Structures are given as C-alpha cells and as structure tokens.
Amino acid sequence: MSFSVVIPLYNKALHIERALKSVFKQTCQDFEIIVVNDGSTDNGREIVEDIHDSRIRLINQSNEGVSVARNNGVEAANNKFVAFLDADDEWLPDFLENIIVLRNNFPECGAYATSSYIIRPDGKIDYPLLVGLPPEPWIGIIPNFFGLFQTGYAFNATSTVVPKKILLDVGGFPAGVKLSEDVACWINIAIRYPIVYNPKRLVIYHQEAFNRSNMYKNLNEEPYIKIIRDAINNGLIPKELQEEALEFIAQRQIFSATANVMEGNPAYARQLLATCTQTRKYKKMWLWWRLWATFPEGWPLRIMKIKQLLQKRLN
C-alpha cells in the first residue's frame, strides 16, 4: 500500500522540519511527500528545499488557502491513497502502519482515520472525546458520524487517509474557507461512504503552534450545514441518522450564534438560532443564547467583563 503525503505549507518555517521528520520515521516507508507551498513569506520553502530526499516534491502556488493547497496536492498525487499532514503537526512512527491495518480489514471504506493527542495553546495535553464507540482495542466503521462529532472532532486532516478517487468524487476541500474546511470534506465522504476508525492516538495535533489556522473566530454559518441539509432532503442520510444530523446542525448553529452574540452581532445570532428551534439535546443551550441575543449590541461582552472583574476582586 503506497501513500501520497500532502502537506500544505504557509508560514510554518518553525515546524515544517518536525512534520517531515515524523514522516521519515514511519515504520512504513512506501510513500511520496508533496509539500504545497501556499505563498509563504517566511523561509519554510527553503527549509524544504534543503532536505535532500527524492521522495519530496515541492509545489509552489500563490496564497490561495489551505483547501486549494490540499486539493492541488491531491491532483499531483501519484498513489491511490492520500494522507494529509499539516505542517505544524506530526505523526507517531506507526501511523501509516495502522492505516494499512484499517485498509486491509475494511477495504471498501471512504476514509481511514485515527485519534490524536491535542496540545493546547497553554501546553496541556488533551484528547478528543470518543462517545458512542466501543473501548479500545476496538477498530471499526463509525456507526454514527454525526453523533460522534458532537462530542468533538474525533479525527482531523492530520489523522486521516482517503483514497484519491473518493476525494476527487466529493470535490475535495471547499476553497476560501478558513475554519472547518476539513470537516466539510469528511461530511461529504460520510454521507456517501463508511468511515473506518481506530481510536488509538497516533497523531500529535499542535494547537499551540505559531500561526495556527484554527484560531480564527467563525461568525458565519459553517460551510457544511448546507451539505447536510441537502443530503437529508435528497435522501442520502438514512432516516435513523437524520435526527443526529439535525442535532449536529443545531449544535454548530448555536456555537456560531454564541460567537456572534459576544462579537456584537445579535441580529445574526437570532437568525442562526431560528434555524434550529426544534433541537431537543441542546434546548437549554439554545434558550440561554436566545436570551442573550435579545440584549443590545455589545452588552453581553460588557456584562461578561464586569462579571470577570468582580470574580477577580472576590478572589
């Protein structure tokens, strides 16, 4: 089983060498590496060029975003299986070996993924919550993608391998999206194919890395909400999973509404909340933020700051 490892690179000179070394340390050595330099302004490109290994290819493009970089890497891939690695993350040595095990046991799946260690900005190590899965050493097809992803993202781009033909079939990653672009891709795959999962932590996801792209605040509706709604309307999601899919939508809409309330956009927050009034799992959360969305613009943030100030004085 051969892999094409796609690494989007944008101003990650501090981390790219670590990412590449984690690939070179794999127990499986049957791979090519495609680094897509997305218009970096630091010396990350030069660091890659100074690593003399025939398995590395460097593609340079103007700054078009991580989705375009990944998609261009997929197009350039020579192998049937594409593994993604962000330039500030790293794999443990047996990551690809475990992906091979998943592929051998579940050859018809649309994606192969594992869990990860998450290093938070404060340096603490955290783990994705994996609710609804059997305990380790279980591996298998995710029974309820939308239920699993409500407890946190069980996998991410760095911990996922996808057949190239399936990535092309679902249209890859959405261009121009700065946050959750990978989730949109996974949802497009999950709607059409089973996803197999190993809860073993085989990836280190560095949230503390410099210039981490997931630090953007998302004030708009998530890009995958329409994907899910259209899939339900077109009968692509089984009836037994539609309720969880709608609850997933409700959770994400409430999160986006929360950000808008705190950033002084209560009208748009109310618009988002109006799309998920039927939620049962998140009704209390919905009611709470619907109340906050009635406050005048800027007041929720002022109230929170006053509360924090009072707590500091009391302590």
169-183 pLDDT per residue, tens: 999 999 988 788 999
Peptide bond into 137 cis (omega under 30): yes
Q: Are 150 and 175 in contact (CB under 8 A)?
A: no
Tokens of 282: 């998140």
CA-CA distance, 313 to 241, in Å (whole number)?
A: 48
Please tell me the distance from the alpha carbon of residue 300 to that of residue 19, in angstroms, as a whole number.
Answer: 41
Note the pLDDT of residue 51.
Answer: 96
DSSP 213: G
**Which regions in the chain score pLDDT beneath 50?**
214-216
125 DSSP β-pair partners: 119
pLDDT of residue 188: 97
- Please compute, for residue 301, the number of CA atoms within 13 A of its CA located in the half-sphere on the CB side: 11
Residues of the chain with CATH 3.90.550.10: 3-215
State the pairing for strand pair 81-84/160-163: antiparallel
Predicted local distance difference test score (pLDDT) of residue 215: 44
10 Å CB burial of residue 306 (0-12, 13-18, 19+) is exposed
Amino acid in the structure at residue 101: V
Which are the contacts of 291, defined by CB distance < 8 A and separation ≥ 6? none
The gap from C-alpha 36 to its chain's centroid, in whole angstroms, comes to 18
Q: Is 211 left (phi over 0), alpha (psi -120 to 50) or beta?
A: left
Alpha carbon 166 to its chain's center: 18
The answer to whether the beta carbons of residues 14 and 81 sit under 8 Å apart is no
Length of the chain: 315
d(CA 259, CA 142): 30
Q: What is the CATH number of domain 3-215?
A: 3.90.550.10
Whole-angstrom distance, CA of residue 155 vs CA of residue 183: 9
pLDDT at 308: 84
The answer to whether 93 and 29 have CB atoms below 8 angstroms apart is: no
Contact call for residues 282 and 250 (beta carbons, < 8 A): yes
Distance CA 167, CA 71 (A): 9
Tokens 């989730």 locate to 183
